[in-house]
């Protein structure tokens, strides 16, 4: 509870002694004559003032209003309107006393009127015969107690506001108004808040000071002699200026104070618990005045209250700032993860750079350009912007690799990011795009800068440290993704080129035969497959064909595939038939160095001869999947025994002869087709493949299409985990 002590009273005025009126009157006078309690004796129905003590005179406005023998209604006419004279009349007529608690009375009139509270008693005066001759008025002024109670209640309300985290300006403004309303003398309250470095004071609250005054002192420095508040903040102790007109602290602000009509200023520093400066609490007065102890106590109480409000506000602001930083960090991480996922989703390096540019706009900047060095020249490969016109305009600018006044050239040379709040140096479409700032970040691969990411601003916004860090991290990740995508593309192209060299570039035209092939590498095609096929001519109008599968993948498999194909082609015209060719291939596999692989090979190799009736076919099967003979009655496997190649020098081979009549086909395929799996892990198998070959007079391409369709239908659109190859020989009518 804040208690505002009374000020020292003025010297007692001359005491108005009572006239003789009864035995009790001298005793009452003895009790109340020098008391702080108000006391007066009124006589007759007109309530003539017979006597009063100095406290009564002070309470009604001073000795000037006290005239013995005058009716109280003349001395204090304001009492009639407030009902106090009517109460006196009731006590006088009834002879019964009246007791009032916390009675509110306005004393005086006009600007000089003041509000006061009293606990009072109206007691009838009796003569020896018991007749009422007048009224005793006694009481105790409770104004200061009442003000203290109200001040305490308002102070409690302020603390509740602080606990509820009400806005700081609302708390400070409410505190200032409470003090101004409850102070017995006119006072104007101001609260200034210290900057983070404690060197300047900013406007916090001053509801009754003029706006021009508040604006003028907003931002004043803390220092010795800088008014009351600047000095108090500097000293960390209260500074009392009782007369602004003569105090040297106010030399620079005296004219301002005169315009604001303030003549005294008492300032108390607002300090945090650790002693750091939070601000100042000031009380201004219209006339020169020296503070009493009650004023000092009031200033200390509300300076502490303001400190609590400011510290609570700063703690809340720090919490909100920490949460904002945490949210920003989470958002940045999510942005990086999302963008990184988008960058690595593509295996095309141009698409990687496209996604990089699109991710930067508008998240990091309104405009973006990506430049790369190719063949010693800078190429602008990607742009992003809000409109097609902006993108085209930005794409029309090509940086010069060795230009000293070009930001892209400098970053390519230094490998360091460059940021500026101005238009980039060197020529460019900056005016047309409304560019106001730029950030250029290098893109590097193992220390070699091969490109740049340039972000451009078009408004008042500037690149902060967060944006720079995000852009650099994005550029780093995009550079890695682009390089990996480029290497992947090159590796796939190399694998395809090598694979193409091991397969037929084009299917040869064979008289009386319709030939079709199919090849699909497993996975992404990064490795060379072990499946192969071949068709080549022999003497006498005959043709050789083969389908094989090398154990393994990659360069070793490619070496083995080449060995098989080239051996077969080399000996086919020198030996009597397919059996001898396969034996030569087996011997070549056994003779290969260990460094060229030791895996086995499965193979079907045969000869075909066009005839009047179709195609005469002779082939041997060396451990390969069974071929399918497709006729009008369906497809049946051709079961021919045969050993794997590359394992042992003694082979068991059984040549098989058949005739393909017109519209009949022989389907040769690798196990990647029949071992394709569905979602349950089941294999397609030879039976399902044969069922899919129930076709009406199919061409070779119809058969291939049916094979591919069967695999896709069974696997749900997947190709499987192994290479797939197929060769179809279809007899055509002569």
The pLDDT assigned to 512 comes to 93
Q: What share of the chain has pLDDT > 90, as a percent?
A: 51
Average pLDDT over the chain, rounded to whole? 86
The three-class DSSP label of residue 292 is: coil
Q: Rounded to whole angstroms, how far apart are CA atoms 613 and 661?
A: 6
pLDDT-based confidence at 15, cuts 50/70/90? very low
Question: Quick check: 12 pLDDT over 60?
Answer: no
CA 129 to chain centre: 93
Which overall architecture, per CATH, does domain 165-316 show?
A: 2-Layer Sandwich (3.30)
Question: Quick check: 125 pLDDT over 80?
Answer: yes
Q: Rounded to whole angstroms, how far apart are CA atoms 122 and 39?
A: 10
The residues pairing with 537 across neighbouring beta strands, listed in sequence order, are: 543
Question: Quick check: 1 pLDDT over 50?
Answer: no
Element (H, E) at 301: helix 293-345
The pLDDT assigned to 497 comes to 53
The pLDDT assigned to 679 comes to 87
The pLDDT assigned to 412 comes to 92
Q: Rounded to whole angstroms, how far apart are CA atoms 368 and 478?
A: 14
pLDDT-based confidence at 534, cuts 50/70/90? very high
pLDDT in tens, 331-383: 888 888 888 787 777 777 788 889 889 999 998 999 999 999 988 889 999 99
Q: Burial letters for 540-578: b for 16+ Cβ neighbours within 10 Å, e otherwise?
A: eeebbbbbbbbbbbeebbbbbbbbbbebbeebbeeeeeb
For Cα atoms 680, 686, 688, give the angle at the middle one, nearest 5 degrees: 60
Q: Rounded to whole angstroms, how far apart are CA atoms 271 and 226?
A: 18
Question: Quick check: 214 pLDDT over 50?
Answer: yes
Q: Which residue has the higher pLDDT, 127 or 545?
A: 545
The pLDDT assigned to 529 comes to 65
pLDDT-based confidence at 13, cuts 50/70/90? very low
DSSP string, 223-272: -TTSHHHHHHHHHTS-EEES-TTT-GGGTTTHHHHHHHT--EEEEEEEE-
- φ and ψ at residue 454, rounded to 5 degrees: -115, 125
The pLDDT assigned to 24 comes to 46
Which of 96-100, 182-186, 211-215 is predicted with the least confidence, judged by mean pLDDT?
182-186
The pLDDT assigned to 2 comes to 30
**Residue whose C-alpha is closest to residue 144's, from 297, 5, 301:** 5
Q: Report the side by side order of strands in the sheet with 634-637.
A: 513-520, 724-731, 665-669, 628-631, 634-637
Question: Quick check: 502 pLDDT over 70?
Answer: no
Contact 41, 134 (CB under 8 A): yes
The pLDDT assigned to 303 comes to 85
Which of 365-369, 633-637, 722-726 is predicted with the least confidence, judged by mean pLDDT?
722-726
CB-CB neighbours of 596 under 10 Å: 14
Which of 283-287, 401-405, 464-468 is predicted with the least confidence, judged by mean pLDDT?
401-405
Q: Which residue has the higher pLDDT, 681 or 262?
A: 262
Question: Quick check: 545 pLDDT over 70?
Answer: yes
Mean pLDDT of 708-724: 83
The three-class DSSP label of residue 428 is: coil
Contact 140, 118 (CB under 8 A): yes
Best-predicted range by mean pLDDT (10-19, 269-278, 522-531, 549-558): 269-278
pLDDT-based confidence at 317, cuts 50/70/90? confident
Q: Which residue has the higher pLDDT, 19 or 77?
A: 77
Which of 261-265, 436-440, 561-565 is predicted with the least confidence, judged by mean pLDDT?
561-565
pLDDT-based confidence at 528, cuts 50/70/90? low
Q: Rounded to whole angstroms, how far apart are CA atoms 422 and 424?
A: 6
Which of 245-249, 260-264, 343-347 is predicted with the least confidence, judged by mean pLDDT?
343-347
pLDDT-based confidence at 115, cuts 50/70/90? confident
The pLDDT assigned to 350 comes to 83
Q: Rounded to whole angstroms, how far apart are CA atoms 439 and 370?
A: 12
Mean pLDDT of 436-446: 93
The pLDDT assigned to 141 comes to 83
Mean pLDDT of 289-318: 84
Question: Quick check: 93 pLDDT over 90?
Answer: yes
Mean pLDDT of 53-82: 85
Question: Quick check: 388 pLDDT over 70?
Answer: yes
The pLDDT assigned to 361 comes to 92
Question: Quick check: 240 pLDDT over 70?
Answer: yes
Question: Quick check: 274 pLDDT over 50?
Answer: yes
Mean pLDDT of 390-414: 86
Mean pLDDT of 146-175: 80
Reading the block at residue 552, the tokens are 């393994």
The pLDDT assigned to 80 comes to 86
Question: Quick check: 179 pLDDT over 80?
Answer: yes
The pLDDT assigned to 5 comes to 33
Domains 165-316 and 503-731 share a fold: no
The pLDDT assigned to 717 comes to 78
Q: Rounded to whole angstroms, how far apart are CA atoms 156 and 321?
A: 29
State the Rg of the chain over Cα.
53
pLDDT in tens, 21-41: 444 444 444 444 444 788 999
Q: What superfamily does domain 346-495 belong to in CATH?
A: GAF domain (3.30.450.40)
Give pTM, 2 decimals: 0.49
Q: What superfamily does domain 503-731 belong to in CATH?
A: PPM-type phosphatase domain (3.60.40.10)
The pLDDT assigned to 704 comes to 95
**35-143: CATH class:** alpha beta
Q: Where do the structural domains in the chain lie, given as residue ranges?
A: 35-143, 165-316, 346-495, 503-731
Would you state the torsion angle of the CA atoms of residues 223, 225, 230, 232, taken in this order, to the nearest 10 degrees?
100
Place of tokens 């003694």: 650
For Cα atoms 225, 227, 232, give the angle at the middle one, nearest 5 degrees: 80
Reading the block at residue 213, the tokens are 């005054």
Q: Rounded to whole angstroms, how far apart are CA atoms 692 and 632?
A: 13
**Residue whose C-alpha is closest to residue 339's, from 320, 322, 323, 357:** 357
């Amino acid at each position: 509870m804040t208690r505002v002590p009374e000020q020292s009273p003025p010297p007692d005025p001359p005491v108005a002694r009572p006239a003789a009126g009864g035995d009790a009157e001298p005793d009452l006078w003895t009790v109340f004559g020098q008391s702080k309690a108000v006391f007066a004796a009124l006589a007759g129905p007109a309530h003539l003032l017979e006597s009063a003590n100095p406290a009564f005179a002070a309470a009604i406005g001073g000795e000037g209003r006290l005239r013995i023998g005058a009716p109280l209604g003349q001395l204090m006419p304001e009492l009639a309107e407030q009902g106090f004279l009517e109460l006196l009349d009731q006590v006088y007529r009834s002879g019964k006393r009246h007791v009032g608690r916390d009675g509110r009375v306005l004393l005086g009139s006009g600007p000089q009127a003041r509000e006061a509270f009293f606990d009072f008693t109206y007691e009838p005066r009796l003569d020896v015969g018991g007749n009422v001759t007048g009224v005793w008025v006694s009481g105790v002024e409770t104004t200061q107690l009442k003000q203290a109670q109200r001040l305490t209640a308002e102070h409690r309300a302020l603390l509740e506001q602080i606990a509820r985290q009400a806005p700081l300006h609302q708390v400070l403004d409410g505190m200032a108004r409470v003090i101004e309303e409850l102070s017995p003398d006119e006072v104007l309250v101001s609260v200034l808040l210290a900057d983070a470095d404690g060197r300047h004071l900013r406007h916090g609250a001053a509801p009754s000071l003029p706006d021009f005054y508040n604006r003028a002192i907003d931002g004043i420095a803390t220092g010795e002699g800088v008014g009351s508040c600047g000095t108090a903040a500097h000293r960390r102790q209260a500074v009392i200026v009782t007369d602004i007109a003569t105090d040297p602290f106010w030399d620079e602000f005296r004219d301002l104070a005169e315009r604001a009509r303030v003549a005294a200023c008492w300032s108390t520093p607002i300090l945090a618990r650790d002693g750091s400066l939070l601000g100042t609490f000031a009380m201004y007065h219209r006339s020169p005045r020296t503070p009493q102890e009650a004023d000092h106590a009031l200033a200390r109480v509300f300076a502490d209250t303001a400190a609590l409000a400011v510290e609570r506000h700063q703690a809340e602001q720090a919490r909100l700032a920490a949460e904002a930083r945490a949210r920003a960090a989470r958002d940045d991480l999510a942005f990086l993860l999302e963008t990184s996922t988008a960058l690595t989703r593509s295996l095309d390096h141009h698409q990687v750079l496209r996604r990089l540019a699109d991710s930067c706009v508008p998240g990091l900047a309104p405009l973006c350009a990506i430049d790369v060095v190719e063949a010693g020249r800078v190429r602008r490969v990607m742009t992003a912007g809000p409109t097609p016109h902006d993108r085209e305009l930005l794409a029309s600018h090509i940086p010069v690799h060795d230009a000293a006044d070009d930001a892209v050239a400098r970053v390519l040379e230094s490998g360091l990011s460059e940021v500026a709040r101005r238009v980039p140096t060197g020529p460019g479409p900056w005016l047309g795009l409304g560019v106001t700032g730029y950030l250029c970040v290098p893109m590097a691969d193992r220390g070699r800068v091969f490109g740049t990411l340039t972000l451009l601003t078009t408004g008042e916004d500037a690149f902060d440290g967060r944006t720079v860090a995000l852009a650099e991290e994005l550029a780093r990740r995009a550079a890695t993704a682009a390089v990996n995508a480029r290497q992947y593309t090159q590796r796939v192209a190399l694998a395809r080129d090598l694979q193409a060299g091991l397969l037929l570039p084009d299917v040869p035209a064979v008289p009386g035969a319709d030939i079709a092939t199919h090849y699909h590498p497993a996975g992404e095609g990064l490795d060379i497959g072990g499946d192969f096929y071949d068709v080549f001519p022999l003497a006498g109008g005959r043709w050789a064909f083969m389908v094989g599968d090398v154990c393994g993948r990659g360069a070793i498999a490619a070496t083995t595939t080449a060995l098989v194909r080239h051996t077969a082609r080399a000996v086919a015209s020198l030996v009597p038939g397919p059996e001898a060719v396969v034996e030569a291939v087996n011997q070549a596999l056994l003779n290969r160095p260990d460094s060229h692989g030791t895996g086995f090979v499965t193979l079907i190799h045969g000869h075909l001869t066009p005839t009047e009736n179709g195609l005469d076919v002779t082939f041997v099967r060396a451990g390969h999947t069974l071929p399918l003979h497709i006729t009008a009655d369906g497809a049946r496997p051709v079961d021919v025994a045969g050993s794997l190649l590359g394992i042992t020098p003694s082979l068991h081979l059984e040549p098989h002869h058949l005739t393909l009549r017109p519209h009949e086909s022989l389907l040769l395929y690798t196990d990647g087709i029949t071992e394709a799996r569905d979602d349950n892990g089941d294999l397609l198998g030879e039976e399902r493949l044969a069922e899919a070959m129930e076709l009406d007079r199919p061409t070779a391409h119809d058969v291939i299409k049916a094979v591919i369709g069967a695999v896709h239908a069974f696997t749900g659109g997947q190709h499987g985990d192994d290479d797939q190859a197929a060769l179809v020989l279809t007899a055509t009518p002569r």
